[in-house]
Structure 1
Amino acid sequence: MSIVTNAFRGALLSIGLAMAFVPATTQVAVAEAEVNIVEGYAVHGYDVVAYFTKGKPVDGDDRFTAEHDGATYRFSSAEHRDLFTADPAAYAPQYGGYCAFGAAMGRKFDGDPSAWAIVDDKLYLNLNKDVQARWKEDVPGFIRGAENNWPLIRSLADASLEASPPAGVTVGAQ
């Protein structure tokens, strides 16, 4: 009887230890899902500060990087890196660099660094220039829709959003 009891206790202890690590693992996956990372970098490795200072997308350089919200950002200069690290919220793209139109539709699509806009001092990316043209038809409405949806979708994979959107997600401009 004591052999069975010890084996049972050992099994319970193993299950308990395994369950203790589930929340930590889940949190790591969630943090990664909140920023669109392509080939190891946020915003495909483009310099997010350059959108504001040069008015165009500029490739970042591996010599100038900074970490923010679990993602690595690249910059074209040390000056841009330093501006970003001083105030990442001022330069990081909205919705983790995912497509702003997609977020308004309750989805998480890649953000193309060449399909961008700065609205009210915030950087927005879209899936491509065709999608961006649709987004520009009602920028304030699509931003309101994305603002409603982002807290609901930010930690979910797009495949799950397509299969079963969470309650409260709106579709389109609001």
Structure 2
Amino acid sequence: MIYASQQKILYSLFISLLMLFSFKAMAKSPVYTALFSDIAVSGYDTVAYFTEGKAVKGSDDYSIEYQDTEWRFKNSDNLAIFKADPAKYAPQYGGYCAWAVANNDTAKGDPLQWTLLNGKLYLNYDADIQSKWLKDKEALIRTADQNWPGVIQ
């Protein structure tokens, strides 16, 4: 049996959650992070894509706040490189899936599905989407550049 006071609490919680998700849907962060997280690129070191050619997990021991989001790196050298020019090492479109942005939408960017092209890092949603992306990435980049940042506003 639910008492009137419990019903009011449950109703308040429901309304609060509904408002939270409605607000989240209205305006998206310029940097993709997982739900209930403020960590960019799922904690992967964005500099490592450029220097090592692979996805490498970062550490909370080497982190910085950039664009109101925490960015992690595997070591102090990569952290220093990022600090010197964060825009160069941050993924395009805030780490959202580049293919989705080209299609005037947003989706999570998977740090294991990535491409470096002309000195820029692009993430994709998954391997299937990345295969579509790779077939025509130059044209998709031109379209995504036109769509960004409108897709998050």
Same fold (TM over 0.5): yes
Tell me which residue corresponds to 2:13.
none
Question: Which of 35, 39, 42 is residue 31 of structure 2 equivalent to?
Answer: 35
Figure out how many residues of one structure are paired with residues of the other and give that number. Answer: 127
Deviations along 1:134-155, one digit per CA (max 9) or x if unpaired, are 0111011100110010131133
Distance 2:96 2:68 in 1: 15
Tell me how far apart the structure 2 counterparts of residues 138 and 44 of structure 1 sit (CA, whole Å).
26
Q: TM-score if structure 2 supplies the norm length?
A: 0.79
1:81 counterpart = 2:79: yes
**Of residues 117, 120, 123 in structure 2, which corresponds to 1:122?**
120
Aligned to 2:61: 63
For the 8 Å contact 1:35–1:98, the answer to whether it is kept is yes
By how many angstroms is 1:115 displaced? 0.3
1:63-103 alpha-carbon deviations (Å, 9 max, x no partner): 00011111110000010001000100110000000000000
Identical pairs, percent: 43
Specify the code of the residue in structure 2 equivalent to 1:142: L
Counterpart-to-counterpart distance in 2, 1:89 and 1:35: 12
For 1:51, the equivalent position in structure 2 comes to 49
For 2:145, give the aligned amino acid: E
- Structure 2: which amino acid aligns with 1:58? V
Per the alignment, residue 147 of structure 2 pairs with 149
Provide the C-alpha distance between the structure 2 equivalents of 1:40 and 1:129, rounded to a whole number of angstroms: 24
Please give the TM-score of this superposition, normalised by the length of structure 1.
0.70
Contact kept? 1:135, 1:142, Cα under 8 Å: yes
- Work out the CA distance in 2 between the residues paired with 1:147 and 1:37: 20
Amino acid at match of 1:119: L
**Preserved CA contact (<8 Å) 2:93 2:149:** no
- Tell me the equivalent position of 2:3: none
For residues 46 and 152 of structure 1, the distance between their equivalents in structure 2, rounded to whole angstroms, comes to: 26
Structure 1: 4+ residue segments shifted above 4 A: none
Q: Which secondary structure does the structure 1 equivalent of 2:108 belong to? A: coil
Per the alignment, in what secondary structure is the counterpart of residue 33 of structure 1? coil
Which amino acid in the other structure matches residue 112 of structure 1? D
**Which ranges in structure 1 are unaligned for 5 or more consecutive residues?**
1-25, 156-174
Segments of 5+ residues of structure 2 without an aligned counterpart are 1-22
Aligned with residue 133 of structure 2, among 135, 159, 173: 135
Instruction: Summarize the alignment of residues 98-109 of structure 1 with structure 2, pairs less than 5 Å apart.
Output: 98-109=96-107
